Chain A
Amino acid sequence: MNELLALFIKYALVNNFILTMFLGLCPFFGVSKRLGDALSMGIAVTFVMLSASVITWLIAHFLLIPFNIQYMEIVVFILVIASFVQLIEMFIRKTSVSLYRALGIYLPLITTNCAILGIAEINFREGFSLLGSVASSLGAGVGFILALAIMSGMRERLEISAVPESFEGLPIAFITASLLSLSFIVFRGIGL
């Protein structure tokens, strides 16, 4: 149990996907202007990360390793992730229009998001167990939401502040992210 908690916290805070590992940046800078959007995106990403982690773990342990075709890992993982996201999108669109409007539109963006393949790769390379993969992906997702939420709050403020013209938009967002990333260093001192 302690190990799982450690994994969760490791990927939520110590190795925060956005602020420390730079995974999932595109949605981070594109979507993070409003808190509502940010949270929807975050939840969608977390859900996909979790499912992708489980599915890729199963494939890795029941297909790749037994048949000794680990080198097909990249091709198989990304195909699986892309297909899965496609299926989810279709499913949501057919079953719940409101949910689709809230989350669905972010899904295509998520397919090529480094965060999803990133967590699948981490699980595979570090050799986590199935439960370990669940813990790490949940942690990564929560960390993602956290960074996104804080960032959107800051950007809402930035929109109405006086920023030098050439720094408006992306540049100042990066500088803000820099400060945020700096503050997360504090988590390196966690001793559970």
Chain B
Amino acid sequence: MIKDFTNGIVKVNPIFVLALGLCPALAISTSIDNAIGMGASVIFVLLFSNLMISLLRNVIPKEVRIPCFIVIIATFVTIVSLALQAYLPALNESLGIYVPLIVVNCIILGRAEAFASKNPVSRSVLDALGIGLGFTLSLIIISIIRELLGTGGISVFGYGVTLPFSPATFFIMPAGAFLVIGLLLGLFKRVGVIR
């Protein structure tokens, strides 16, 4: 059972292994705060969607399962969106349209289809937490690199350090995101962490 949780972090790491959920990863990984915010949002949606879908897996007819999954996921994404607008408006502005886009994040629908719809609630919850954590950690790694190299320092929730070197704005730009992920993918493959 514990494997259901740990799998999500490395073996089935959504970003580096499955290459899912890339859109948000590249777009918002310009700061660690964004990464944590987006990661937490995705974990919330994954957790509750997997939970609901697993609970209802014997009730939802196979033929309409995709629309049903989509509505359930979209509902939780809307909850996150409303909550952000009300209580964390700054984060909401940074994440922008990528908040509603969580609903089409292949990770969530993918897990619902591949796991939650076929497994009991306890396993589905662990799977969601594992995958969500894997996603968040990957986002944080990418953001640390981009923020450090792109702005010359890193900061989390207002506490930060600035390092004494000239940053390369390139890394904050979209091109920088592509490069960082490409290099990381190649590196992980080389080191054998992923195939």
List residues of chain A with CB under 8 Å of any chain B CB: 19-26, 29, 71-75, 78-79, 82-83, 112-114, 116-118, 121-122, 125, 164, 166-167, 170-175, 177-179, 181-182, 185
User: In the docked arrangement, what's the CA distance between A22 and B38, Å?
Assistant: 15
7 more A-B residue pairs beyond the given contacts A21-B174, A73-B100, A171-B189, with a C-beta to C-beta distance below 8 A:
A22-B174, A75-B71, A75-B75, A79-B74, A167-B182, A172-B182, A174-B178
Q: Using Cβ atoms and an 8 Å threshold, which residues of chain B touch A178?
A: 175-179, 182
User: In the docked arrangement, what's the CA distance between A85 and B57, Å?
Assistant: 25
> In the complex, which of the residues A79, A113, A118, A175 contacts B97, with contact meaning CB atoms closer than 8 Å?
A118
Give 8 nearest A-B pairs by CB, closest first: A174-B182, A178-B178, A171-B186, A166-B190, A175-B182, A178-B179, A181-B175, A166-B189
B61: interface (CB < 8 Å): no
Q: Write the chain A residue with the least CB distance to B96.
A: A125
- B97 contacts A22, C-beta separation under 8 Å: no
- B19 contacts A29, C-beta separation under 8 Å: yes
**Number of residues in B with C-beta < 8 Å to the partner?**
41
* Interface majority SS (helix, strand, loop, mixed), chain B: helix
**Contacts A79-B74, A118-B101, A125-B97; is A22 near B22 (CB within 8 Å)?**
yes
- B174 contacts A26, C-beta separation under 8 Å: no
User: In the docked arrangement, what's the CA distance between A181 and B176, Å?
Assistant: 9
* Interface majority SS (helix, strand, loop, mixed), chain A: helix
- A74 contacts B66, C-beta separation under 8 Å: no
A122 → chain B, closest Cβ, in Å?
6
Q: Using Cβ atoms and an 8 Å threshold, which residues of chain A touch B187?
A: 166
B47-55, B77-85, B126-134 - the one binding chain A: B77-85
User: In the docked arrangement, what's the CA distance between A171 and B39, Å?
Assistant: 23
- B22 contacts A26, C-beta separation under 8 Å: yes
Interface code B71-107, partner A: CB below 8 Å = 1, 0 otherwise?
A: 1001101100110000000000000010011011110
Q: Write the chain B residue with the least CB distance to A163.
A: B186
- B109 contacts A112, C-beta separation under 8 Å: yes
Q: Using Cβ atoms and an 8 Å threshold, which residues of chain A touch B173?
A: 181-182, 185
Q: For residues 153 through 195 of chain B, which have their beta carbon under 8 Å from a beta carbon of chain A?
A: 170, 173-179, 181-183, 185-187, 189-190
Q: Using Cβ atoms and an 8 Å threshold, which residues of chain A touch B22?
A: 22, 25-26, 29
> In the complex, which of the residues B174, B176, B185 contacts A20, with contact meaning CB atoms closer than 8 Å?
B174
User: In the docked arrangement, what's the CA distance between A174 and B179, Å?
Assistant: 6
Q: Using Cβ atoms and an 8 Å threshold, which residues of chain A touch B185?
A: 170-171, 174
User: In the docked arrangement, what's the CA distance between A139 and B102, Å?
Assistant: 23
User: In the docked arrangement, what's the CA distance between A113 and B187, Å?
Assistant: 28
